[in-house]
């Protein structure tokens, strides 16, 4: 697709991967609405990038509905949804698991993505075109010790991507599942403070590049799943 003037909603767009994606998409000429829960941070990043801010929590249906009403008002339509909003949790082994912690994380990482994608799919089916990008994780490919909650949420998102691909291809709607490996960001930081980049680790820009490259493929094709690893992370 041609990203110039593309109408994009990007959840979790005020830091880390989301901020890098928003910048690269805007540099390509796209119109990008970024959402997030922290109003102050959202406005600051939007001003810096030239994005359109909208405060919203994907775990709240009323906020999701308001996001799409705002999108229609500001952009007059939608071409791309990027489900990037996500939270982490502490590492708990099976004997320490708290189901309430699991539900809280799933409300954002899984159910939030479902809430956003359901409305986007209705729009895209009607117009017979559109793109949904789910930002999962390499934790969706392999579990790890203490990762029952987070890893399973990303496995769930990956499974949703595959199901939506099967359902939406006939309507010319592309669904991409992106699996970043570890990237030093504010993710899972208590005060959402950005971590310093590391020489041997991925950067947010590399994930943004993968997303942009996938979207820019001619609409006749799409990449169902793309995993991005650091060359030598050790």
Structural domains in the chain, sorted by start: 7-228 (3.40.50.720)
pLDDT value at residue 187: 64
188-212 average pLDDT score: 82
Query: β-pairing, 173-180 with 52-55?
Result: unpaired
Predicted confidence band of residue 200 (pLDDT cuts 50, 70, 90): confident
Catalytic residue among 68, 106, 150, 222: 150
CA distance 32 to 54: 11
pLDDT higher than threshold 90 for residue 184:
no
CB 25 within 8 A of CB 8: yes
150 is annotated as an active-site residue: yes
Question: How far lies 11's CA from each of 15, 58, 133, 220, in Å?
Answer: 10, 8, 11, 26
Predicted confidence band of residue 190 (pLDDT cuts 50, 70, 90): low
Predicted confidence band of residue 195 (pLDDT cuts 50, 70, 90): low
Residue at token pair 């409300």: 107
In this prediction, what percent of the chain has a pLDDT beyond 70? 95
pTM of the model: 0.94
Residues sharing a CB contact under 8 Å with residue 203, sequence separation 6 or more, in sequence order: 20, 183, 197
**What is the tens place of the pLDDT at every residue in 36-70?**
999 999 999 999 999 999 999 999 999 999 999 99
Classify each residue of 138-168 as buried b or exposed e, where b means 16 or more C-beta atoms within 10 Å of its C-beta: bbbeeeeebbbbbbbbbbbbbebbeebbeeb
pLDDT higher than threshold 70 for residue 192:
no
């Amino acid at each position: 697709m041609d990203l110039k003037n593309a109408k994009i909603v990007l959840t979790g767009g005020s830091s880390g991967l989301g901020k890098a994606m928003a910048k690269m998409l805007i540099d390509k000429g796209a119109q990008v609405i970024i959402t997030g829960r922290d109003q102050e941070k959202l406005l600051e990043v939007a001003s810096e990038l030239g994005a359109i801010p909208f405060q919203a929590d994907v775990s709240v249906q009323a906020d999701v509905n308001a996001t799409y009403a705002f999108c229609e008002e500001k952009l007059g339509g939608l071409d791309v949804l990027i489900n990037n909003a996500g939270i982490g949790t502490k590492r708990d082994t099976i004997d320490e698991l708290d189901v309430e912690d699991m539900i809280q994380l799933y409300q954002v990482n899984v159910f939030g993505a479902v809430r956003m994608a359901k409305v986007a799919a209705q729009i895209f089916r009607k117009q017979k075109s559109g793109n949904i990008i789910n930002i999962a994780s390499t934790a969706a490919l392999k579990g790890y010790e203490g990762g029952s909650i987070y890893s399973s949420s990303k496995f769930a998102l990956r499974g949703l991507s595959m199901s939506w691909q099967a359902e939406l291809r006939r309507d010319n709607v592309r669904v991409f599942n992106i699996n970043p490996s570890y990237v030093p960001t504010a993710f899972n930081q208590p005060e959402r403070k950005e971590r310093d980049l590391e020489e041997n680790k991925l950067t947010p820009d590399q994930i943004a590049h993968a997303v942009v490259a996938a979207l820019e493929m001619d609409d006749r094709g799409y990449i169902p799943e793309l995993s991005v690893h650091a060359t030598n992370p050790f």
